[in-house]
């Protein structure tokens, strides 16, 4: 090679090395300049989403109370008894005005009572069963029309169901050619049963069972058969008219296949095997306001739910005489009962 050419090449190489360029070094791949990833930004991370998601469910404002095992034998359940839910045309104590009735039912709701059926109570007494913490049975006697027109919607409004003790002969009663609105119809009873109400027998004609022993089979046994045929639902419990429960009537209640029976008066909420066929009921009269009503309840609640303007009721006799011209059949000592 020419010495001048070689000298020229060496001179150029020295100059480029001084500028930081190595012409003999292997070229660096350009891909290595893009392999380094930028750190993820806050918007790219999924952590905030995971932290929020479990808390998006809205809790129930009125949680269902946990039912607890109760029985067998003694079970604390108040049983309330009503007749007419209407304003009385004659001042009868067996009429509870709708506004008073609603105040009582609302208080039960506010104090966390839960309605059960008589059959549920019998299950707890005889075998043990799970019941709500504050169970109550709300019963209605006789088949009055106001039990459908007034009591039924009020009970539904507050989430309660009841037990109807029906008189077969009062169902579908008519005045002339038209149905009498003072009495329940078959369709109304079926609608209430479909809504969760329980139906029991209150005899065929509402007689005094102590006065005529020959009528017991017809009134107690036949009424169960007739109601089951009319309504297509099981009739499992019975209520004695006027609370009369002689030994012969109790025997027929057993014979007819009922699983329990109701008296007409009661003094406590303690129910058990000893009174399974004479369960204690508290009769709620038209004279009761919501403040006096609480004496029938074994569990009290927040007093702020009580109205502050409820007047104190005037004391009345415990056994107010019932006018013979009221719609409710009654028995006055020494007289023949009204059928």
Q: CATH number of the domain that 98 lies in?
A: 3.20.20.370
Best CA proximity match to 122, nearest among 249, 243, 238, 228: 238
pLDDT confidence of residue 339: 41
pLDDT confidence of residue 188: 98
Is position 38 within any domain?
A: no
pLDDT confidence of residue 64: 65
Number of structural domains the chain divides into: 1
Dig out the tokens for 124 from the structure. Answer: 């707890």
Is position 287 within any domain?
A: yes
Is position 80 within any domain?
A: yes
Segments forming the whole domain that contains residue 157: 69-303
Average pLDDT for the chain: 80
Is position 168 within any domain?
A: yes
pLDDT confidence of residue 308: 79
pLDDT tens, residue by residue, 143-181:
999 999 999 999 999 999 999 999 999 999 987 778 899
pLDDT tens, residue by residue, 43-69:
333 333 323 333 333 433 445 679 999
User: In whole angstroms, how large is the CA radius of gyration of the chain?
Assistant: 39
Angle at 159 between CA 122 and CA 114, to 5 degrees: 40
**Residues above pLDDT 90, as percent of the chain:** 64
pLDDT confidence of residue 73: 93
Is position 113 within any domain?
A: yes
pLDDT confidence of residue 211: 86
Q: What are phi and psi of 76, to 5 degrees?
A: -90, 105
Is position 26 within any domain?
A: no
Burial tier of 339 (Cβ tally within 10 Å: 0-12, 13-18, 19+): exposed
pLDDT at 18 over 60: no
pLDDT at 97 over 60: yes
pLDDT confidence of residue 2: 52
Tell me the whole-structure pTM to 2 decimals: 0.73
pLDDT at 220 over 60: yes
pLDDT tens, residue by residue, 296-314:
999 999 999 998 764 544 4
Is position 37 within any domain?
A: no
Query: What HEC string does the chain produce?
Result: CCHHHHHHHHHHHHHHHHCCCCCCCCCCCHHHHCCCCCCCCCCCCCHHHHHHHHHCCCCCCCCCCCCEEECCCCEECCEEEECECCCCCCCCCCECCHHHHHHHHHHHHHCCCEECCHHHHHHHHHCCEEECCCEEEEEEEECECHHHHHHHHHHHHCCCCCEEEECHHHCCCEECCEECCCECCHHHHHHHHHCCCEEEECCCCCCCCCCCHHHHHHHHHHHHHHHHHHHCCCCCEEECHHHCCCHHHHHHHHHHCCCEEECCCCCCCEECHHHCCCECCEECCCCCCHHHHHHHCCCCCCHHHCCCCCCCCCCCCCCCCCCCCCCCCCCCCCCCCCC
pLDDT at 87 over 50: yes
Dig out the tokens for 114 from the structure. Answer: 């839960």
35-39, 102-106, 176-180: segment of lowest average pLDDT:
35-39
Partners of 206 in beta bridges: none
């Amino acid at each position: 090679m020419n010495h001048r050419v070689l000298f020229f090449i060496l001179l150029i190489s020295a100059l480029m090395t001084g500028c930081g360029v190595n012409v003999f070094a292997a070229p660096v791949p350009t891909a290595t300049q893009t392999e380094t990833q930028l750190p993820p930004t806050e918007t790219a991370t999924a952590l905030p989403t995971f932290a929020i998601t479990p808390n998006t469910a809205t809790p129930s404002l009125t949680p269902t109370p946990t039912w607890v095992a109760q029985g067998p034998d003694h079970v604390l359940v108040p049983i309330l008894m009503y007749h007419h839910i209407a304003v009385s045309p004659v001042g009868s104590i067996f009429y509870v005005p709708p506004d008073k009735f609603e105040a009582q039912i609302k208080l039960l709701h506010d104090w966390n009572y839960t309605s059960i059926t008589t059959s549920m109570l019998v299950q707890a007494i005889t075998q043990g069963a799970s019941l709500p913490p504050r169970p109550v049975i709300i019963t209605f006697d006789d088949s009055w029309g106001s039990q459908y027109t007034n009591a039924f919607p009020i009970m539904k409004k507050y989430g309660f169901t009841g037990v109807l003790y029906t008189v077969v002969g009062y169902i579908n009663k008519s005045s002339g050619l038209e149905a009498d609105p003072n009495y329940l119809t078959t369709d109304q009873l079926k609608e209430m049963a479909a809504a969760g109400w329980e139906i029991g027998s209150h005899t065929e004609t509402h007689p005094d069972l102590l006065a005529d022993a020959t009528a017991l089979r017809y009134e107690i046994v036949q009424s169960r058969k007739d109601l089951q045929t009319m309504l297509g639902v099981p009739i499992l419990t019975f209520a004695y008219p006027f609370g009369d429960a002689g030994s012969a009537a109790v025997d027929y209640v057993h014979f007819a296949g009922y699983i329990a029976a109701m008296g007409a008066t009661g003094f406590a909420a303690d129910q058990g095997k000893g009174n399974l066929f004479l369960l204690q009921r508290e009769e709620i009269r038209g004279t009761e306001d919501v403040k006096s009503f609480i004496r029938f309840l074994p569990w009290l609640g927040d007093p702020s739910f009580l109205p502050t303007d409820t007047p104190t009721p005037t004391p009345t006799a415990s056994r107010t005489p019932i006018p013979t011209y009221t719609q409710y059949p009654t028995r006055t000592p020494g007289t023949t009962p009204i059928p």
